[in-house]
Amino acid sequence: MNRVFCRFLLLLIVLLFLPHAVYAGANLEVNTPAITSLKQSMQGRHIQLVNYYENGAVGFTKDGLLALRDANVVPLAKRQVVNGLISAENQDRNLLYREIARANKHPEWEKEIRATFSQRWIKLAKTGWWYQGAGGSWSQK
């Protein structure tokens, strides 16, 4: 009985961790021309976004994107510009997650790749920048 139970437990553990184990094989550093141009595009935009990370206008969302967290700290005439930057950055990020999944020949991994990158962005964020917790509330790093 114990052996049966142990086997069952082992199977359960394997099944529980199987999707993650499969996803763990993903190469997040994979490179394609599209990924290269997306990264270049994001690097170019980062300089424009840094000020808004620092003053709290823009924060990192829990789904690996950016959001306008507090528009009040942005001059009125610049709010549309910040919206545009966020939109463009989010388009690039969505494409990046999808391209990495495709380059790994597993488009269905996009969700997991997004989740991993979400954690990466927050980890890379500097002190004072804002990020969204699992519950949706904003915290300052």
Partner 1 sequence: MRNLFVTILLVILALGFSAYAAYPQLKLTVADIHSPAFHVKNINIQFVDHQASEFTINIEELGVQDHVWRNLNLSCGQFKVNERHIHCVSGQINLADSLSLPMVFQLNHAERKLMFEIKPTAKESWQVLMDWDEDNWQVRVNIVEGRVAHIKHWLPDGGTVPELTNGEIDLAAALSGDTDGLAHFVLDASLDEVSFSDPVGLHAGENVQLNIKAKADFIAEKNEWLWQTDVTWPRGEVFWQPVYLVGDGDRLSLNGIFGDERIRLRNGKLILSEIGEFEFSGLMTRSGHELHDFELHADNLELAVLFERILKPFFQDTAFAELEVSGQSNLVWQFRNGVSEHLMLDLDDVSVIDQRGRFAFNRVDAHIPWRANKVTIADISILSGHALNIPFGSVRVPLEIRGFNLLLPQLVLPVLDSELRLENFVASYQQDRWFWSFNGELKSIPMARLTEALQVQEMHGTLSGHIPEISYDGREKVVSVKGELLFNVFDGDVVVNNLSLLEPMGFAPHLNADVEMRNLDLGLLTKTFSFGKMEGRVDMDMLDLELSNWRPIGFDAHLKSSPGNYRRRISQAAIENISSLGGESATAAIQRSFLRFFETFSYSEVGWRCVLLNNVCLMGGIEHDSGSDSYTLISGGGIPAITVMGYNQKVGWEALIDRLKRVTQESEPIIQ
Site string for partner 1, 49-88 (x = CB under 8 A): -------------------x-xxxxx-xx-xx--xx--xx
Q: Which residues, including other chains, have CB under 8 Å from residue 140's CB and lie 6 or more apart?
A: 56, 128, 129, 130
Q: Interface with partner 1 by CB under 8 A: which range of 17-25, 30-38, 58-66, 108-116?
A: 30-38
State how far the Cα of 104 lies from the Cα of 100, in Å rounded to an integer: 6
Q: Interface with partner 1 by CB under 8 A: which range of 8-16, 18-26, 32-40, 124-132?
A: 32-40
Counting DSSP H helices and E strands in the chain, the numbers are: 4, 4
* Interactions with partner 1, residue window 102-121 (CB under 8 A): 102-103
**Start-end of H helices in 73-109:** 76-103
Binding-site size, partner 1 (CB under 8 A): 28
